[in-house]
Amino acid sequence: MQDKQHLDLLLSIAQDFYLNKLSVSDLSVKYDVSRYYISKYLEEIIDNHLVSIHINTPFDRNTAMERAFKREFAVENVYIMKEKIDSITNQEVLLTFTAKIIQDLIAQARVVGITWGKSIYQVLDSFQQSDQRNLVFTSFVGELGLRKRYAEPVTLLQRAVSKYNSAMYLTIPAPLYVANDHLRQTLAEEPAVKSVLDVARKIDVTFSSVGTLSSIENMTNLGKNFRTYFPGLHSKKVAGVVYGRPYDEHGRFLTADKDTVFGLSLPEIKRIPHRVGILEASTPIRTAKGALYSDAFTDIITSESTANKILCSL
């Protein structure tokens, strides 16, 4: 009897919400339950397939997987794109899908933070032209020092600005890692650097991929100076690297006590309202899971196959 009453309640709420357009607040008053419970009931309605929702969009999302991600990881927004059989088409559509989500966030922003990586370069290539005004793209950590188009901040920032007719860009003229504490603090006070860091602290949106320790070593001189930049850290503990900082498989940042990254501190980065993380098909599962547990991102974008591998590993 109780199950029947609960089902009737869910059906009534579904009708009022989807057909009669009552808000969550209105439903809370009508059914005399908190807005929290109304939200839970609406999730239950979807999970139990009591309603069928179809959105006319060129991008088909796996909403069941997105809800599973939200339950497991502390990520506010999850975007998981359904895939077709053709892997080449999937990659092209995923880049377009990712670019659209990021550009929708940029539309509400004034300052946008950019890191590095091949996937970031490809996403920028997929951006649509925009006339948005008063927009600034900026780096917020130092440079890798590798002269490749997807690793140079200037190249990536110029790529971004080319898609926004009235935008400007700023770079931090410093290396990614500075081992000497005094030098790192002094360099941050240099006028040419300080002015960029001041703007970077106003970033509204940033988007990044995640990397492995070996990927960072390949793009920097980190291998030769590992102990200098990460004293006391065992490389086997490192599951991945984001914003230049290594983390373990549980999402714990391993250099919190001795952070040699030049630029915004990790607490400052975590205050950025929208931090979009892009999980590629090539991202190792251990690396992806650590990033998801780390609270590095507010938004995650990935493909159905990558998401499935992560969920199956839990």
Burial 155-182 (b: 16+ CB within 10 A, else e): bbbebbbebbeebebbbbebbbbbeeee
pTM of the full predicted structure?
0.79
Q: Is residue 226 over pLDDT 90?
A: no
* CB 66 within 8 Å of CB 79: yes
If asked whether residues 303 and 278 sit together in one domain, one would say yes
The reply to whether 55 falls in a domain is no
If asked whether residues 29 and 174 sit together in one domain, one would say no
If asked whether residues 91 and 194 sit together in one domain, one would say yes
Averaged confidence pLDDT in the chain: 89
Average pLDDT over residues 84-99: 78
Per-residue model confidence (pLDDT) at position 89? 64
Q: Which residue has the higher pLDDT, 256 or 157?
A: 157
If asked whether residues 88 and 6 sit together in one domain, one would say no
Listed in sequence order, the residues at least 6 apart from 307 whose beta carbon sits closer than 8 Å to its beta carbon are 62, 65, 69, 80, 279
The reply to whether 57 falls in a domain is no
The tally of domains found in the chain comes to 2
Average pLDDT over residues 234-245: 93
Q: Specify the CATH number for the domain of residue 96.
A: 3.40.50.1360
Average pLDDT over residues 224-235: 85
Per-residue model confidence (pLDDT) at position 25? 85
The reply to whether 275 falls in a domain is yes
228 torsion bin: left (phi>0), alpha (psi -120 to 50), beta (else): alpha
Quick: pLDDT tens for 111-121.
999 998 888 99
* Interior angle at CA 151, CA 75 and CA 204, nearest 5: 40
The reply to whether 53 falls in a domain is no
- pLDDT band at 1, cuts 50/70/90? very low
Burial class (CB in 10 A: 0-12, 13-18, 19+), 287: buried
Per-residue model confidence (pLDDT) at position 219? 59
The reply to whether 56 falls in a domain is no
If asked whether residues 83 and 215 sit together in one domain, one would say yes
The reply to whether 26 falls in a domain is yes
If asked whether residues 126 and 233 sit together in one domain, one would say yes
If asked whether residues 215 and 290 sit together in one domain, one would say yes
Per-residue model confidence (pLDDT) at position 83? 84
If asked whether residues 13 and 98 sit together in one domain, one would say no
Q: Which residue has the higher pLDDT, 99 or 216?
A: 99
Average pLDDT over residues 23-49: 88
The reply to whether 223 falls in a domain is yes
Q: Which residue has the higher pLDDT, 142 or 90?
A: 142
The reply to whether 217 falls in a domain is yes
Burial class (CB in 10 A: 0-12, 13-18, 19+), 232: exposed
Per-residue model confidence (pLDDT) at position 54? 54
If asked whether residues 33 and 95 sit together in one domain, one would say no
What residues make up the domain containing 22?
2-47
- pLDDT band at 231, cuts 50/70/90? confident
If asked whether residues 36 and 163 sit together in one domain, one would say no
Quick: pLDDT tens for 47-67.
888 887 655 556 789 999 999
If asked whether residues 86 and 146 sit together in one domain, one would say yes
If asked whether residues 30 and 75 sit together in one domain, one would say no
Q: Is residue 73 over pLDDT 80?
A: yes
Quick: pLDDT tens for 148-184.
666 678 889 999 999 998 899 999 999 999 999 999 9
Per-residue model confidence (pLDDT) at position 218? 66
